[in-house]
Structure 1
Amino acid sequence: MENDDFQYLNDVANSLNSRGLNIDDIAKFMKIKTSSFLVPSQQALKHFKQLFDQLMTNEYDQKEKGKLLEDLVSALFVDGYPNIFEVRRNCKTSSNEIDIQVNWSKEAQRLKLMPIMSSDNTSFLCECKNYENKADVTNVGKFYSLMCYTKTILGLFISWNGVTGKDNSWKDSIGLIKKLALGDEKYIIVLSKLDLQRIRDEKTNIFELIEDKYNALKNDIDYKTYIKKHEIEIQKKW
């Protein structure tokens, strides 16, 4: 810590003490501020519900529903959390098009809202798929390739009907997602209509979904936690 930083923190501590406050009071304030920061407005939630309910009808063809799904996801970030997310839609690279690129705002970065956030990880990609069937490994592989090209480590793969494979399997799309997390530390979070339904019904929010799915994916493949050091390694005799 630099001397100037130490002096600044010392001045802050003295100022807090003079007002009868301590570090616990600041922690409580930050918790309240952060939680209120994560609550979307009623207007934004109403808009999200309207778009979701439209998607649940059979009044649109596949192309129209695909556009509606992108609108839904964009509204979730832009309308729901304008102080947290900055959204760019249909970004073109030299060889691909990104459905949605989401950047964390400076305020969100400062508050470190998600465990995966870091100074080198200030954005993530969203891919929207409105297939009649579950998205297969080819779709997931292409999204992974796009993440590599853009040097992002987090991606939201929003597939209306989910992806192929079972949660406890290392096959199909789910298996590929686990292998990419294990081998390349690229974390693809799958959101289906069931997840979006939970947001629509106010049973969860996008932050809880991302964090829960990220932790589940990371813990599932974090094999290092099961490896105990041999006594030779501990004693550094090898």
Structure 2
Amino acid sequence: MVQTKAKRPRRLKREALVFAHLERVSKDLLLDHPDIVRELIGRNAGVYALYRKNKLYYVGLASALRNRLTAHGKNRHGNSWDHFSVYLTIRDQHLREIEALLLRITRPPGARQTGKLAQSRDMKRQIMRAIRTKQAKHLSSLFDWRQARDESADPKNVRGDSELVRLLPSGAKLRADYKGKVYRARARRDGTVRYRGVNYESLSQAGKAVVRRAVNGWWLWKIERGKGNWVRLTTIRRAGTPVYK
């Protein structure tokens, strides 16, 4: 009996962000062959870049790319570029964020403002606060023989989950989404979780009070990382990096 090898399941191809592009072509292409450019670009959205003498002058996005390029040939940018690139995308869901990233990284001279990352949190303050805390502890250890300790890190003062104390700041706002409703709680300094006026010794106990059955509290509860971006605590736990206010 001849044995045949089992066929491996075919991997689903990821949808490409960019499905067509045109790089560093002359501005004259728009002037001499507008019909061809119009046909190829069509009504697609995408990212474009304008160049002057091989130097980047401007980057942007447009849901109607061909109209935007035509407009840039007549508006204030008209005499400031001589070559252009276009990158056509299937979806425009993240185009605004992509444009913001490009503007922040390249800082082109033709841009009047930098891109805004509306749902991203600037980590500078968190890092500065963490450095100040670290330096204060170091100075205390150099000049105070008693080496003042962080009370929240003292095992005697931890009633709940010590891992919660290590990873989350005191008073961190937590959220759980269950059956179309939003439930809110807070992480306390002693490792307990306060939900509806009751202190629970673990995330799972607080979660059980929400769903009325045993549940993995690290999976149920979330913390906000950036405006409106709620991340499950399992992700924070897996990364092992503390969250700072």
TM-score category (smaller protein) = under 0.3
Structure with higher Rg: it is 2
TM-score, with structure 1 as normaliser: 0.27
Q: Compare the two structures and name the one with the higher helix fraction.
A: 1
Q: Compare the two structures and name the one with the higher strand fraction.
A: 2
